[in-house]
Amino acid sequence: MAIISTKGRYALRVMIDMAEHRREGYIPLKEIAQRQGISEKYLESILKTLVRARLLTGLRGKGGGYKLTREPSLYTVGEILRLTEDSLAPVACLEEGAAVCPRAGECRTLKLWKGLNDVLNGYFNSVTVADLMAPAQAGNDYII
Amino acid sequence: MAIISTKGRYALRVMIDMAEHRREGYIPLKEIAQRQGISEKYLESILKTLVRARLLTGLRGKGGGYKLTREPSLYTVGEILRLTEDSLAPVACLEEGAAVCPRAGECRTLKLWKGLNDVLNGYFNSVTVADLMAPAQAGNDYII
DNA sequence: GTATTACCTACTTCTTCAATAGGTTTATTG
DNA sequence: CAATAAACCTATTGAAGAAGTAGGTAATAC
């Protein structure tokens, strides 16, 4: 299948959505799910991950919901995807906690995969949530 | 799991192996499988794909085997992986033959994924099998 | 005609992705 | 205080795909 799973894609979309609505205080899951067309239950499991890693805070009870903990420009795409994708490693032997490959010494392709790893991380770390938000325009946002 | 599956990794390793032994004429599958530590049956299904796409030719019967159809420098890594990986698309909506996403117009992340696609293809297309071969040295290879 | 090799179709097993179900705890509000 | 609204938690399911296996058929050399 695709490199990035729905979980990672959804997580990113949700972070952008929350950034665009960050002036509205705590936003209930239900609202995000409706806006983004994602099932509430599935979204819940994604938000749990983001809360655990403190990218978001949750507040229970009436009037509660979720909120960003930082400015949108301080979240990189890489950080979000590394949390929600089980692995962004190019190949199995570069995965976290992978056993050392006995062929590593003679492996012709190791350099290729490490290079790919660098390319990917470089790309993902160079983009922030702020870069992905809709450009501010009259009526779309307001200045404090 | 990892971005590149074992099928794609094996295919690449095998192409490099065959490039390094290209002076020896047709090489039987059995030999490649042993050298690379891959099950014969599994390797067979990978080679079938490469033959169909004419990256290799096969010859049956005694003395038969597989052989490259071009010089190693004329195979890009991208070509090999696109054949053997079911998909190298970053996300589902950029897969070949994917339905047009109804959210495409308002999608905040489409540009990100297209950019990733370009980065990946650029990387893979810039490396050839010749780049991955062991450097020629005395006793390791010979000149015609 | 026998051995060797590629070629072909189908199947199995295991894992992971995506999503669902059903509850418990915390906070607000009337 | 009771009702409601929300986050939080554990477990389960269904479908798809990855990885590998099994058993045969066709071509070629000797």
Rounded to whole angstroms, the Cα distance separating B38 from B55 reads 20
Measured from the Cβ of residue A142, the count of other Cβ atoms closer than 10 Å reads 8
Mutate to test the interface with B, among A13, A81, A112 (most CBs of B within 10 A): A112
Q: Distance of CA A62 to CAs A15, A28, A59, A65, B34, Å?
A: 22, 9, 9, 8, 65
pLDDT tens, position by position, B73-117? 999 999 999 999 989 999 999 998 888 888 899 999 999 999 999
Rounded to whole angstroms, the Cα distance separating A65 from A52 reads 15
Measured in whole angstroms, the distance separating CA A43 from the mean position of its chain's CA atoms is 13
Reported confidence tier of residue B136, pLDDT bands at 50, 70, 90: confident
Mutate to test the interface with B, among A81, A108, A113, A120 (most CBs of B within 10 A): A108
* R_g (Cα) of chain A, nearest Å: 18
CB distance A2–B94 less than 8 Å?
yes
Nearest to A1 among B87, B112, B115 (CB): B87
Position B66 scores a pLDDT of 98
Measured in whole angstroms, the distance separating CA B87 from the mean position of its chain's CA atoms is 13
Instruction: Please give chain A's pLDDT, 144 residues, in tens.
Output: 899 999 999 999 999 999 999 999 999 999 999 999 999 999 999 999 999 999 999 999 999 999 999 999 999 999 999 999 989 999 999 998 888 888 899 999 999 999 999 999 999 999 999 999 998 755 454 444
Bridge partners of residue A57, in order along the sequence = A67
User: Regarding the domain delimited by A6-132, which CATH topology (the fold level of the hierarchy) does it fall under?
Assistant: Arc Repressor Mutant, subunit A (1.10.10)
CB distance A95–B132 less than 8 Å?
no
CB distance A108–B9 less than 8 Å?
no
Position A137 scores a pLDDT of 56
Task: Report the nearest residue to nucleotide C6, CA vs C1'.
Answer: B60
Nearest to B77 among A95, A103, A112 (CB): A112
Position A103 scores a pLDDT of 87
Task: Report the nearest residue to nucleotide D30, CA vs C1'.
Answer: B62
Rounded to whole angstroms, the Cα distance separating B83 from B101 reads 25
Instruction: Specify whether the CB–CB gap between A113 and A94 falls below 8 A.
Output: yes
Position B135 scores a pLDDT of 85
Measured from the Cβ of residue A77, the count of other Cβ atoms closer than 10 Å reads 24
- Which regions of chain B does DSSP assign to beta strands (E)? 56-59, 65-68
Position B1 scores a pLDDT of 82
Rounded to whole angstroms, the Cα distance separating B112 from B103 reads 15
Rounded to whole angstroms, the Cα distance separating A62 from B13 reads 58
Residue in this structure with the two tokens 């890594």, named with its chain if needed: B77
For the question of whether the overall pTM of this predicted structure is more than 0.85, the answer is yes
- Which regions of A27-125 does DSSP assign to beta strands (E)? 56-59, 65-68
Residue A64, CA: closest nucleotide via C1'?
Answer: D6
Q: What is the average pLDDT across B53-65? A: 97
DSSP assignment, residue A141? B
Query: Mean pLDDT across chain B, nearest whole number?
Result: 93
Task: Report the nearest residue to nucleotide C2, CA vs C1'.
Answer: B62
Instruction: Specify whether the CB–CB gap between B104 and B92 falls below 8 A.
Output: no
Percent with pLDDT over 70 in chain B? 94
Rounded to whole angstroms, the Cα distance separating B116 from B122 reads 10
Residue type for B11, please?
Answer: A
Q: Is the pLDDT of residue B143 over 80?
A: no
Taking contacts as CB-CB distances below 8 angstroms, the residues of chain B near A113 are 4
Nearest to B133 among A89, A108, A113 (CB): A108
